[in-house]
A = this chain, B = another copy of it.
Amino acid sequence: MTGQPSRRHTIAAGLAGLAAVGGVGACTRALGDSDADKAANPALEMCLPGPEHTAREFRGPRQAGIIEDPQSHGAFVALDLATTATRDTLRRILKVWTDDIERLMSGRPSLTDQEPELAASPANLTVTVGVGPRTVAVAGATAPAWLAPLPAFPSIDRLEPRWSGGDLLLQITADSPTTVHHAQRRLVSGTGDLAAVRWVQRGFRDPFETAKRPMRNLFGQVDGTVQPRTDGPDDARLWVGADGPEWLRDGSALVLRRIRMNLDTWDEADRGTRENAVGRRLPDGSPLTAKAGSGPDVPSDLSATNSLGFPTIHEGAHIRRAAATAAHEVFLRRPYSYDDSVGSTSDAGLLFAAYCADPVRQFVPVQQRIADGDLLNTWITPVGSAVFAILPGARDGEILGQALVT
């Protein structure tokens, strides 16, 4: 993926810098530390790249938090507008959030923040704001047709209202869980009585993942491979263009599915069964039709057959069900694992976050094929579902949702 530097990139760049000049002192921190800290340890200040201090850019035509490398911790927070909310209510919320997010992403406290110390480590924080259908109606604007609950998938869905829907979305991701927590507190409390939390879903990824060490989900599978390009060619798939509503130009859509993974029954499946269900090898994510060790990015050969004439990749293998059958069936995935188990039974899974310009056209056909016969359905159950329009970015002088509320 392209985009702003990740924590890992920053560390790598720091090391490369060291190597290039042959010594310490080449790397500086992206943001200042507290004066006390600096005084106490000037050597450290000059030596380490300070990943806790790296900040991503808030201002721009598109919001941050989608195409950049995913941070290791995230919270998806849905809020519902007060029943009396008006367009003015919405504008007030978005104005406060714009200021708060810009500050927090740069490591500065929000205006009423009484814990500036917790704001001082942005740790690559991004906050991405979305709106649900009711919010667009409150604003008096026209929503795209896709901004609605997904069609039902009765064969697999066991959706719970407590993980579904919502008027507003805050996607808060950073490389420190403390940073995520603090930003969430400040942004939610910033809405006062104008909105109330509907649900919070927290997740994590491996802090040490790299391109060569991709994310694994809690089933142990390499996850989130075969992605659209984020450096231009696939932009029409990712971002709303001239055919969408004016207020959503350069915005996107987020489909968030809470997918419970039954780790207890998964434990009973052997590795052959697991690889067959996905169509990929567990050690490196390579398709069963490619050479072992070739990695997750090698294309699969869905027409290949074994010596008995059966498909090498099962008719119900996830890799086949999820494969695009048309050029537009692509979307960017940025999933987070969750584990909320508190007792003997697992309550864990994946916060499947998918971004595209039109989920009904791009995402739903894929989801339908999965619902119709994915072998993984034995172990996974969608228990939450929500669709949000991700607002365009805020350029200099603008607030988020500028074209929606002004």
Q: Which residues does A use to contact B, with CB under 8 Å?
A: 11-12, 15, 18-19, 22-24, 33-37, 39-41, 44, 47-48, 50-52, 72, 114-115, 117-118, 121, 123, 162, 175-179, 181-182, 185, 188-189, 196-202, 204-208, 210, 212-213, 216, 218-220, 263, 267, 269-271, 274, 282-284, 293, 295, 337, 339-344, 346, 348
A14 to B: closest C-beta gap in Å: 8
Residues in chain B near residue A48, CB distance under 8 A: 11-12, 15
Residue of B nearest to A205 (CB): B178
Contact of A123 among B182, B208, B210, B346 (CB under 8 A): B208
A23 to B: closest C-beta gap in Å: 5
A44–B8 CA distance with the chains assembled, in angstroms: 12
A52–B33 CA distance with the chains assembled, in angstroms: 26
| Interchain CB contact under 8 A, B199 and A36 | no
A118–B202 CA distance with the chains assembled, in angstroms: 21
Contact of A114 among B23, B118, B177, B271 (CB under 8 A): B271
Q: With contacts A12-B48, A44-B210 known, what are 20 further pairs, Cβ within 8 A?
A: A11-B48, A19-B23, A36-B295, A40-B212, A44-B212, A52-B207, A114-B267, A114-B271, A115-B219, A115-B220, A117-B283, A162-B342, A176-B207, A176-B208, A177-B337, A178-B205, A178-B337, A185-B267, A199-B342, A207-B207
> A175-B207, A337-B178, A344-B197 given as contacts; is B36 within 8 A of A284 (CB)?
yes
